[in-house]
């Protein structure tokens, strides 16, 4: 597709449920990032993939968060046993180049997760 | 640890005004700085990317400047229009942050007709 696509756009989960959020990056983009944006805040980094390799997961807030990109294209962010503090918009971004030294970052519209 | 601050948090102006949004960062050892626009309920759109070796970038009515040594960047919007109403986010990448962009909280701009 022409841009980064995320699904679902909205997800309501009961506390304790597992959720999976999908990201389709721009075709051919090497780098893929996940960010978490709480209400009224700037996005905060979660994890980075270069092709299928997860090179940086330093931003994942707990071991309940897991991300994968098995074929170097589509990525899934999984949150196990959701808690209310997980409520946020989860943004996916991709870039043609490796890392952040060059090139723009293209963001999807995000998946808004509400945990009741 | 790198911190990014944006001032003001919110700004309201009448249509046609020129305006400046400010961004400051605590560690000047950055690789680049980006300005993004975010409309309500939407993702981020990259507006301008300034590499650490550059002083400014221009795109249409937008001009972004970078002063690495003082840890500051400004986004200048000329002849503002109601369609410019959005939240503007500044973000930096640096060696310490690795592959993470460090974002400010944004400036929410409202342009009235």
Instruction: List pLDDT tens digits, range A60-85.
Output: 999 999 999 999 999 999 999 999 99
pLDDT greater than 80 at residue A99 = no
Q: What is the pLDDT of residues A2-34, one digit of tens each?
A: 799 999 999 999 999 999 999 999 999 999 999
3-state secondary structure (DSSP) of residue A111: strand
Instruction: Please report residues of B whose CB lies closer than 8 A to that of A53.
Output: none
For the four alpha carbons of A21, A27, A30 and A35, in that order, the dihedral sign comes to negative
Q: How far is A23 from chain B (nearest CA, A)?
A: 13
Chain-chain contact of B36 with A109 (C-beta, under 8 angstroms): no
Closest to B58 measured CA to CA, from B76, B40, B38? B76
Mean pLDDT, residues A40-62: 93
Which H or E run contains A10? strand A10-13
Instruction: Please report residues of A whose CB lies closer than 8 A to that of B49.
Output: 103-104
> Would you tell me which residues 43-102 of chain A have a C-beta closer than 8 angstroms to some C-beta of chain B?
43-45, 48, 55-56, 58-59, 91, 93, 99-102
Return the pLDDT at A17: 97
**How far apart, in whole angstroms, are the C-alpha atoms of residue B28 and residue A4?**
31
Return the pLDDT at A8: 97
B95: contact with A, CB 8 A cutoff: no
Instruction: Using 70 as the pLDDT threshold, list the residues of chain B that sit under it.
Output: 95-98
Can you list the alpha helix ranges (DSSP code H) found in B1-113?
none
Return the pLDDT at B95: 67
Mean pLDDT, residues A55-61: 92
Which H or E run contains B44? strand B44-51
Mean pLDDT, residues A54-58: 92
Chain-chain contact of B32 with A4 (C-beta, under 8 angstroms): no
Chain-chain contact of B4 with A42 (C-beta, under 8 angstroms): yes
Question: What mean pLDDT value characterizes chain A?
Answer: 93
Chain-chain contact of B106 with A43 (C-beta, under 8 angstroms): no
Instruction: Please report residues of A whose CB lies closer than 8 A to that of B93.
Output: 100-101
Least CB–CB distance from B99: residue in A6, A48, A102: A48
Return the pLDDT at A71: 94
Q: How far is A29 from chain B (nearest CA, A)?
A: 15
A101: pLDDT confidence band, cut at 50, 70 and 90?
low
A41: contact with B, CB 8 A cutoff: yes
Q: Which two tokens stand for residue A48?
A: 């980075």
**How far apart, in whole angstroms, are the C-alpha atoms of residue A92 and residue A111?**
9
**How far apart, in whole angstroms, are the C-alpha atoms of residue B63 and residue B10?**
19
Give me the residues paired with residue B6 across strands: B23
**Among all residues of chain A, which has the CA nearest to that of B88?**
A42
Cβ atoms B43, B25 nearer than 8 A: no
Return the pLDDT at B42: 86
Q: How many beta carbons lie within 10 A of that of residue B108, not counting itself?
A: 18
**How far apart, in whole angstroms, are the C-alpha atoms of residue A95 and residue B85?**
26
Return the pLDDT at A100: 62
């Amino acid at each position: 597709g022409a841009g980064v696509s995320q699904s679902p756009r909205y997800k309501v989960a009961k506390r304790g449920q597992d959720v999976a959020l999908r990201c389709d990056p721009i075709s051919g983009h090497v780098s893929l990032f996940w960010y978490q944006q709480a209400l009224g805040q700037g996005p905060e980094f979660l994890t980075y993939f270069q092709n299928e390799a997860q090179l940086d997961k330093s931003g994942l807030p707990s071991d309940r968060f897991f991300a994968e990109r098995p074929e170097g294209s589509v990525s899934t962010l999984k949150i196990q046993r959701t808690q209310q503090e997980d409520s946020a918009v989860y943004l996916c971004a991709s870039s043609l180049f490796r890392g952040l030294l060059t090139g723009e970052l293209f963001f999807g519209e995000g998946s808004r997760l509400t945990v009741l | 640890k790198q911190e990014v601050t944006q001032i003001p948090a919110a700004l309201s102006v009448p249509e046609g005004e020129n305006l400046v949004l400010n961004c400051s960062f605590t560690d000047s050892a950055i690789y680049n700085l980006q300005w993004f626009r975010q409309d309500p309920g939407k993702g981020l759109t990259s507006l301008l990317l300034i590499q650490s070796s550059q002083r400014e970038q221009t795109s249409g009515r937008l001009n972004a400047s970078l002063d690495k040594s003082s840890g500051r960047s400004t986004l200048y919007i000329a002849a503002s229009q109601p369609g410019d109403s959005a939240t503007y986010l500044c973000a930096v990448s640096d060696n310490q942050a690795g592959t993470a962009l460090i974002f400010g909280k944004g400036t929410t701009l409202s342009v009235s007709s």
